[in-house]
Amino acid sequence: MSGLVADILETALPASTGVALAASGEMLNERAGTLNLGQEGLMSLGAVAAFIVGTNTRNPFLALGVGLLVGAVAGIVFATAAVVIRANQVLAGLAIAVGGVGLANQIGNGRQGEQLLSRFEPVAIPGLSDIPIIGEALFDQDPIVYFTFYVLPVMLWFLLFRTRHGMNLRAVGENPAAADAVGVNVTGMRFTYATIGAALSGAGGAHLVLGYTQNWSIGVVSGAGWVSLAVVIFAAWRPFLVVLGSLLFGAMTSLGFVAQARQWNVPSYVLAMLPYLVTLALILLPAGLAAITRRGRASSAPAALAVPYYREDR
């Protein structure tokens, strides 16, 4: 049993690092009131950019950085439409999702099968990785996994809940008119975090290729972007729950491999459905529980999420 948990965890972390990065980024820009449904496209673009760089250099950090940059550029396109022009965020986000996947597939199509030279390799943390059962799974991973699961949530939590800037950021997402009244630059704040969020999603797609699949094929992201959006809802916009939710998705993906390796008598197709079904359950459960117990607010979403801000409407 303990071997099983360790086996699942060992793959679950790298399998869900991409989702966790994307979901952390999306959580951040949703906190500022911008809904970017384009995650699938951002991750696809980041993935293909990292793949192309990764087939030409041996530096995974460079490849990841390019994926991050490409995500940021796509984020600027989105933010210009959604925040500056104040276009419908659902439409603009879906545009990024659809267009990003199409563009990424077009760019990568001729390069399928090329060998990836730069990959992230595990670096064991002395001491911690010797902990029985879970030590190796949790502390013998690549640096980006460590950053995503152990550093990023702390940083985001501190930023959001322990700094004045973070308070302003949340105010922009909850009540932009009030934030504006006390001198917070609503448009600037939303634009900045929409870009940062998209950059993290691009990096997430990049890690998916560099640290997990270690090659590229059409549809390599296969829903991870959509899952990241669901994870944010499940996590109720909280940084630690975001990485935990992502890890659950990763565990389901990992379970598929473990089941095949151990020759369990479950069809591989059913195992492949599992991550999506569990993600679906993740967003249905909190809503269902809230409805049944009739406790608390129906939703903990930022109050001004996806609502464009016009100063004249105050």
Partner 1 sequence: MAATSRSWRLERRLSVTSGQAALARVGGVLVALVIGWLILAVTGRNAGSLLWKAIDGTFGERQGFDEMVLLLTPILMNALAVHIALRMKLWNIGSEGQFFMGAWAATGVGLYMGGPEWLVLTVMGIAAALAGAAWILVPALARAHWSVNEIITTLLLNFVAIQWVAWFSFDIWRDRAAAVVQSTPVVKARLPFFPGSETLYVGIFVPIAIAAVMFFLFRSTRWGYEVDMIGGNPRAAEFAGIRVTRRIVVVMLISGAIAGVSGMLHLAGPAQRLNSSISNNYGLSGFIVAALAGNSVIGVVAGAVFIAWLLHAGITLQADGFSVFIVAALYGLVLLGIAIGEAAARFRLVRASRQQERAVA
Q: Which stretch binds partner 1 (CB under 8 A): 80-88, 119-127, 167-175, 198-206?
A: 80-88
Q: Which stretch binds partner 1 (CB under 8 A): 26-34, 129-137, 187-195, 270-278?
A: 270-278
Q: Is 205 in the site for partner 1 (CB under 8 A)?
A: no
Residue 36: which of 89, 115, 72 has the closest Cα? 89
Name the residue with tokens 């990024």. 96
Q: Is 222 in the site for partner 1 (CB under 8 A)?
A: yes
Q: Which stretch binds partner 1 (CB under 8 A): 25-33, 202-210, 257-265, 282-290?
A: 282-290
Give whichever of 72 and 301 is closer to partner 1, judged by the CB atom: 301
Q: Is 269 in the site for partner 1 (CB under 8 A)?
A: yes
Give whichever of 120 and 238 is closer to partner 1, judged by the CB atom: 238
* Residue 53 C-beta: closest distance to partner 1, Å: 19
* Residue 137 C-beta: closest distance to partner 1, Å: 26
Residues from 88 through 147 that contact partner 1 (CB under 8 A): 88, 90-92, 94-103, 105-106, 109
Helix segments in the chain, DSSP class H? 2-31, 39-56, 60-79, 89-109, 135-139, 143-146, 152-162, 164-174, 176-181, 186-207, 224-234, 239-261, 268-293
Interface characters, 40-69, with partner 1 (x: CB under 8 A): -x----------------------------
Question: What is the number of residues in the chain?
Answer: 314
Helix (H, G, I), strand (E, B) or coil at 141: strand
Q: Is 8 in the site for partner 1 (CB under 8 A)?
A: no
DSSP 8-state assignment for residue 80: I
Residue 218: which of 54, 108, 114 has the closest Cα? 108
Phi/psi of residue 78, each to 5°?
-60, -45
How many residues in the shown chain lie near partner 1 by CB under 8 A?
Answer: 52
Rounded Cα distance between 256 and 258, Å, is 6
Q: Is 307 in the site for partner 1 (CB under 8 A)?
A: no
Q: Is 293 in the site for partner 1 (CB under 8 A)?
A: no
Tell me if 26 sits within 8 A of 191, measured CB to CB.
no
Within 8 A by CB and 6+ apart from 259, the residues are: 266, 271
Residue 15 vs residues 88, 165, 181, 212, 289: alpha-carbon distances, Å: 33, 32, 44, 6, 29
Q: Is 261 in the site for partner 1 (CB under 8 A)?
A: no
* Residue 218 C-beta: closest distance to partner 1, Å: 8
Q: Is 266 in the site for partner 1 (CB under 8 A)?
A: no
Residues binding partner 1 (CB under 8 A): 37, 41, 77, 81-82, 85-88, 90-92, 94-103, 105-106, 109, 222-223, 226-227, 229-230, 233, 267, 269-270, 272-273, 276-277, 279-280, 283-284, 287-288, 290-291, 298-299, 308, 310, 312
